[in-house]
């Protein structure tokens, strides 16, 4: 079940693009943009990542740390980061443990076909580790503006 606004964000530890462990609680004292996306190097996911990249300095100045999460491998993340010059961490959630904590692995429908997949969702977490916003209708080309309001 997906956590809600005002709740403590579920803590997790998962590997980043280099295979190094990242724990959500290590960012206590910072605001965190935890965004779940379906797949590296697909058009919508690339647009979203590049929009966050292009506004990364502004996000950083406002105290945000950006963490992207997908079920891709660390190697795929490395390629995605290199290709798009992404200045933030991507988490490899190959076993979908983080997705399950946040309720972002759901039944989806596409062209009459049903399948399990990542529902594009962004959780904005405050300095105390509490969810301050959940963006479900992500505009991939204007995502930073949605976060910054």
Inform me whether the pLDDT recorded for 55 exceeds 90: yes
Q: What are phi and psi of 93, to 5 degrees?
A: -105, 60
Q: For residues 93 and 86, is the Cβ–Cβ distance under 8 A? A: no
Percent of the chain predicted with pLDDT > 70: 100
- Written as six digits, the tokens of 82 are 């290199």
Averaged pLDDT, 17-38: 98
pLDDT tens per residue, range 91-137: 999 999 999 999 999 999 989 999 999 999 999 999 999 999 999 99
Inform me whether the pLDDT recorded for 78 exceeds 80: yes
Inform me whether the pLDDT recorded for 1 exceeds 80: no
Question: Residue 50 catalytic?
Answer: no
Averaged pLDDT, 8-30: 98
CA distances (Å), origin 111, targets 3, 19, 37, 51, 61: 29, 35, 19, 27, 41
Looking at domain 13-148, its CATH architecture is: 3-Layer(aba) Sandwich (3.40)
Choosing from 9, 14, 24, 45, which is the catalytic residue?
Answer: 45
Please name the residue ranges forming H helices in 20-125: 43-54, 56-61, 74-84, 97-102
């Amino acid at each position: 079940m997906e956590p809600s606004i005002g709740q403590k964000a579920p803590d997790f530890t998962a590997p980043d693009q280099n295979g190094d462990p990242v724990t959500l609680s290590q960012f206590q004292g910072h605001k965190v943009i935890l965004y779940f996306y379906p797949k590296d190097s697909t058009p919508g996911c690339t647009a979203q990542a590049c929009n966050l990249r292009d506004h990364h300095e502004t996000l950083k100045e406002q105290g945000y740390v950006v963490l992207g999460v997908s079920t891709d491998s660390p190697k795929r993340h490395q390629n995605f980061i290199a290709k798009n010059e992404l200045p933030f961490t991507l988490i490899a959630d190959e076993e979908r443990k983080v997705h399950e904590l946040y309720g972002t692995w759901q039944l989806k429908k596409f062209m009459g076909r049903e399948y399990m997949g990542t529902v594009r969702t962004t959780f904005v977490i405050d300095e105390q580790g509490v969810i301050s916003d959940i963006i479900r209708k992500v505009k991939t080309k204007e995502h930073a503006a949605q976060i910054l309001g």
